[in-house]
Amino acid sequence: MAAIPARLLASWQRSEDYGVSLDDPHPVFSGTYDDQSLFYECGREVLAELHSTLSSEPLGLMLTDADGLVLNRLSGDQELLRALDRVNLAPGFSYAERDAGTNGLGLALADRVPTLVRANDHYSLSLCGYTCAAAPIFDPLTGRLEGSVNFTTWSDARSELLLALAQTAAASTANLMLARSQGHRPRRAARGQVFRIEPLRQETGSGSLDRLSEVWNSALLHASDALQAGKVVAAVGERGSGRSTLLAQAERRISPGDRLFAVHAPEPHDVDAWLAFWTPELARPHTRFIICNTDELPAMAAERLHDLLAGPRGPAAGTVTLTAERFDAIPRQLSALVDAVVEVPALRNRANDILPLADHLARRARGREVEFTPAAARALSDYAWPGNVAELAAVVKDAALRSDVIDARHLPPELLSRAEHLPRIKAFERDEMVRVLSREGTSIDDAVAELGMSRATIYRKLAQYGISLPKIHA
């Protein structure tokens, strides 16, 4: 009997840890998605071209985002499409490992390598009738994981070339993105264009967040006391400041065994689907909800939600909490239900939280302890963090995935410079200076040679761009 590959065993273990059903997984429905991105445009075009030549084959061609959300699906086999619908391997559903257990696209995204998962390799029995091949797609300029292409067929079909086909499609998508990236400006998703309904689990090591500042702990105590008293709580503050995290911590304090979900705002035409997918859960005991970004709710959604929460058997108190940027931005139908408002300060107003949060986020991303050098710690502490904790999380995750010891050279150039809103050429020059001068062991003579600048010019531009770096070797 052949040995089970280590990657497969590790994926099965993660699936068990996530609590995925062995019999029938229940992928999270995540609503609509941003269909204006360069990644989506190029991936859809590549798959459409492939589909035109493979339409007679029993093959499902799919594009997913980096979170495993299926963005589109093509197949000329109606029987296969019906079967895939039965297991919710369809647009709008997430097939990440966390949601569906071991499967081709989930494992490809988790391990960031091309993956073939055959029948009995799947974690859940309901997926054993399929073979899936997937390959991750990376942004050719930034290296960021954008998503994957996934090809699914029947488990008894020939699959020898399936993985090679997935890799070819992924490479073609990346190449098309590179060819079209010149001058392409990503379009921001429309208000409410993406919504998610996702379970919030207790994070390993989340107790370390108790080490945060008094201002955070005071807000957390306020929220906990209000929830304990059965009040409807709204957490308000800037985006990314940790509003949902604060409410989740407060909920865990008073009801650690309850199920907890985060619900994000829909677009107007998605209101029916949005309500249908999560509001039946309101009647279930020991279930709580954080309704995020209520200031982005369409009016119709706010009205119907108010009717659900404030009716004769309305479960609002002790079951639902809200987040928004400002209390007066919450739709009036919902603000009338709020009993207590908790202000969540921006990260720049609680600088003492930056390094404890960075330690927690790095450990979560790396899976073990990560060290910050004094230069990196200083850069993190001195930065204003306009994107709040969400921006800090992205920066720290990127750095932690590259090294167990995070130095200034692992951080984005803008963290090491006080200059803002630079023209593209000057921003490129600044970034090159940071890249060269932050490299360990680089001397000023090395920088002179690599940058093509004199010593005087280098020192002048360091001051001009406000670049703060460790001591440069003479």
Q: Across residues 177-196, what is the average pLDDT? A: 56
- Which amino acid is present at 349? N
Residues 404, 417 share a domain:
no
Percent of the chain scored above 90 by pLDDT? 41
Q: At residue 146, does pLDDT exceed 50?
A: yes
Average the pLDDT over 261-270 and give the result: 82
Instruction: Categorize the per-residue pLDDT at 189 as very low, low, confident or very high, splitting at 50, 70 and 90.
Output: very low
- CA Rg, the chain, in Å? 24
Q: Is 328 among the domain residues?
A: yes
* Strand order through the sheet with 233-236: 197-199, 259-263, 287-291, 320-324, 233-236, 340-343
Lowest mean pLDDT among 154-158, 188-192, 389-393: 188-192
Who has greater pLDDT, 312 or 120? Answer: 120
Domain ends where: 308, 329, 345? 345
245 assigned to some structural domain: yes
Residues 203 and 109 in one domain: no
Strand partners, 260: 288
The pLDDT of residue 424: 58
Q: What is the mean pLDDT of residues 450-458?
A: 77
Q: State which of 368, 395, 411 marks the end of a domain.
A: 411
Give the CATH number for residue 300. 3.40.50.300
**Does one domain contain both 355 and 338?**
no
Q: Are residues 210 and 314 in the same domain?
A: yes
- 70-74 vs 59-65, strand pairing mode: antiparallel
Q: Is the pLDDT of residue 283 over 60?
A: yes
Residue in the structure block whose two tokens are 């200031």: 295
- pLDDT band per the 50, 70, 90 thresholds, residue 318: low
* pTM for this entry: 0.54
Contact between 337 and 231 (Cβ < 8 Å): no
| Amino acid 210: pLDDT | 63
Q: Residue 164 belongs to a domain with what CATH number?
A: 3.30.450.40
287 — phi, psi (to 5°)?
A: -130, 130
> Residue 469 has what pLDDT?
64
307 and 430 fall within a common domain: no
Pair 291, 218 in one domain:
yes
96 vs 403: CA distance, rounded Å: 25
Residue 10 resides in a domain: yes
| pLDDT at res. 381 | 87
Q: Mean pLDDT of all residues in the chain?
A: 84
Residue 154 shares a structural domain with residue 54: yes
Q: Does some domain include residue 187?
A: no
One-letter amino acid for residue 419 of the chain: A
Shared-domain flag, residues 406 and 419: no
Q: Is residue 369 part of a domain?
A: yes
At 427 the pLDDT is 65
Tell me, yes or no, whether 400 and 417 share the same domain. Answer: no
119: how many CB neighbours lie within 10 A of its CB?
15
364: nearest Cα among 223, 207, 214 = 207
Say yes or no to pLDDT of 77 above 70: yes
Residue 134 above 90 pLDDT?
Answer: yes
Please say which residue of 329, 345, 361 terminates a domain. 345
Answer whether residue 313 shows pLDDT above 70.
Answer: no
The number of helices, as runs of H, and strands, as runs of E, in the chain is 17, 13
How do residues 193-228 score in pLDDT, each as one tens digit? 446 777 776 554 445 566 788 999 999 999 999 999
DSSP strand pairing (115-117 vs 130-138):
antiparallel
Q: Which of 10-19, 86-95, 341-350 has the lowest mean pLDDT?
A: 10-19
**pLDDT (tens digit, 9 = 90+) per residue, 37-71?**
899 999 999 999 999 999 889 999 999 998 899 99
For residue 299, pLDDT beyond 80 = no
Together in a domain, 291 and 308: yes
Residue at 326 is within a domain:
yes
Domain carrying residue 333: 197-345
Are residue 61 and residue 144 in the same domain, yes or no?
Answer: yes
Which pair of tokens denotes residue 348?
């720049």
Same domain, residue pair 221 and 135: no
pLDDT higher than threshold 90 for residue 423: no
Q: What is the CATH number of the domain that holds 454?
A: 1.10.10
Is 111 inside a domain boundary? yes
What is the domain count for the chain?
A: 4
Is position 192 within any domain? no
